[in-house]
Amino acid sequence: MLLPFAASALLALLATAEARPSSTTPSRGALVVRQHNTQHGEYSSVSAAVAALGNSSNEPATIFAHRGVYNEQVYITYPGPLTLIGETKHPRTYKSNLVTVTFNLSKNEAGQDDNSGTLRVHKDDFTMYNINVANTYGHPVSQSQALALSAYGKRQGYYGSSFTGYQDTVLTDTGSQYFGSCAVTGAVDFVFGETAATYFRGSDIFSVGAGCITAGKPKDGGMGIYVFDECTVQQGVAATNDLTGQVYLGRPWGDYAQSVYLNSNLSSIINPAGWSSWSSSTPNTDHVVYGEYQNTGSGASTSKRASFSTVLTTKQSQEYGIAEVLGSDWSDWVDEAYY
């Protein structure tokens, strides 16, 4: 006979497992996307499944995508809670993902950053598992802004997914986002936005060219922050030359930019200064919060860091915990299996 505590713990574990969607087969009621040999009632693209949901229901919905490379731009505004799942046998990592959504569109062609996004999520309560998202526009001579993800909304969770671009790869502009066990690849300002609270945990950040990782532009004294907790920062395989000392942790798009790296591994690609001003004519450094705490790796030394950055004390670092950044209700919507 189980002791009461053991029994309750087991029930909680089973309930969590039951609540987490399968990564190999669609759950009952899920809309199914299958690129090839599409069967009756299924959809051949993610966009088609999203369109089938309409915009009049607030009911929870799930889309399950079978393996494939989907060449499309996906725009999501469905009002109800939505979960998008990519088929995989290894859901705790992006490294074995079988589903890729890819598109090639620049800001210059689209008219603005958001419109260039391969995946545009304009909604609250969105969850995505094990999907690779890429914008393959790359790096022309100029105007290389091209988003993989454009996120506007509260309580968005991304798990075991990867996002690949060059400049402006991931835009989190409003609301709150959590990235667990994800990868982000880019070169210039490739994690950026204005008023969103965004938390990366156990994720890999890959630089493929000289530049800055974050670029924040929060309103005067308002929210707008990026926290990287137990992440790695390293050179990506697509880099065409050695990036040692050529990458900065962030630069301020606006005066109140906030980026913090906690307990992360910073490789030799990080410049000894760590952080950059926006430009020589517009530094934007007066009110920034650029913090580091107990990072490791050959790029983690703070002895030559920029004067406008801060080495956090233990007490100060606690101000950037997940509850402080995402709110006290974070455990209601973040999948703790990825924390």
Could you read off the pLDDT of 262-289 as tens digits, one per residue? 999 999 999 999 999 999 999 999 999 9
pLDDT given for residue 141 in this prediction:
60
Task: Flag whether 269 is in a domain.
Answer: yes
What does the pLDDT look like over 228-241, one tens digit per residue? 999 999 999 999 99
Q: What is the pTM of this model?
A: 0.94
pLDDT given for residue 262 in this prediction:
99
pLDDT given for residue 32 in this prediction:
98
pLDDT given for residue 220 in this prediction:
72
Give, in order, the Cα–Cα distances in Å from 155 to each of 16, 117, 174.
19, 19, 11
pLDDT given for residue 6 in this prediction:
44
Neighbours of 262 (CB within 10 A): 21
Catalytic residue numbers? 189
Task: Flag whether 44 is in a domain.
Answer: no
Structurally, how many domains does the chain consist of?
Answer: 1
Task: Flag whether 41 is in a domain.
Answer: no
pLDDT given for residue 9 in this prediction:
41
Rounded CA separation 106/114 (Å): 10
| Mean pLDDT value of segment 152-163 | 99
What does the pLDDT look like over 38-51, one tens digit per residue? 999 999 999 999 99
pLDDT given for residue 144 in this prediction:
85
What does the pLDDT look like over 83-101, one tens digit per residue? 999 999 999 999 999 999 9
Rounded CA separation 11/6 (Å): 9
Boundaries of domain holding 241: 65-338
- Residue bearing the bigger pLDDT, 167 or 2: 167
Task: Flag whether 161 is in a domain.
Answer: yes
State yes or no: pLDDT of 12 exceeds 90: no
What does the pLDDT look like over 46-88, one tens digit per residue? 999 999 999 999 999 999 999 999 999 999 999 999 999 999 9
CATH label of the domain that carries residue 170: 2.160.20.10
What does the pLDDT look like over 187-231, one tens digit per residue? 999 999 999 999 999 999 999 999 999 999 998 767 899 999 999
The vertex-186 CA angle with 184 and 213, nearest 5°, equals: 85
State yes or no: pLDDT of 16 exceeds 50: no
Q: Are strands 61-65 and 225-229 parallel, antiparallel or unpaired?
A: unpaired
State yes or no: pLDDT of 5 exceeds 80: no
Task: Flag whether 112 is in a domain.
Answer: yes
State yes or no: pLDDT of 7 exceeds 60: no
Per DSSP (E only), the strands in 160-304 are: 162-164, 170-180, 183-186, 191-193, 197-201, 204-207, 211-216, 225-229, 232-235, 247-252, 258-262, 265-266, 289-293
pLDDT given for residue 296 in this prediction:
99
Task: Flag whether 302 is in a domain.
Answer: yes
What does the pLDDT look like over 177-189, one tens digit per residue? 999 999 999 999 9
What does the pLDDT look like over 103-150, one tens digit per residue? 999 999 999 999 999 999 999 999 999 999 999 998 866 668 999 999
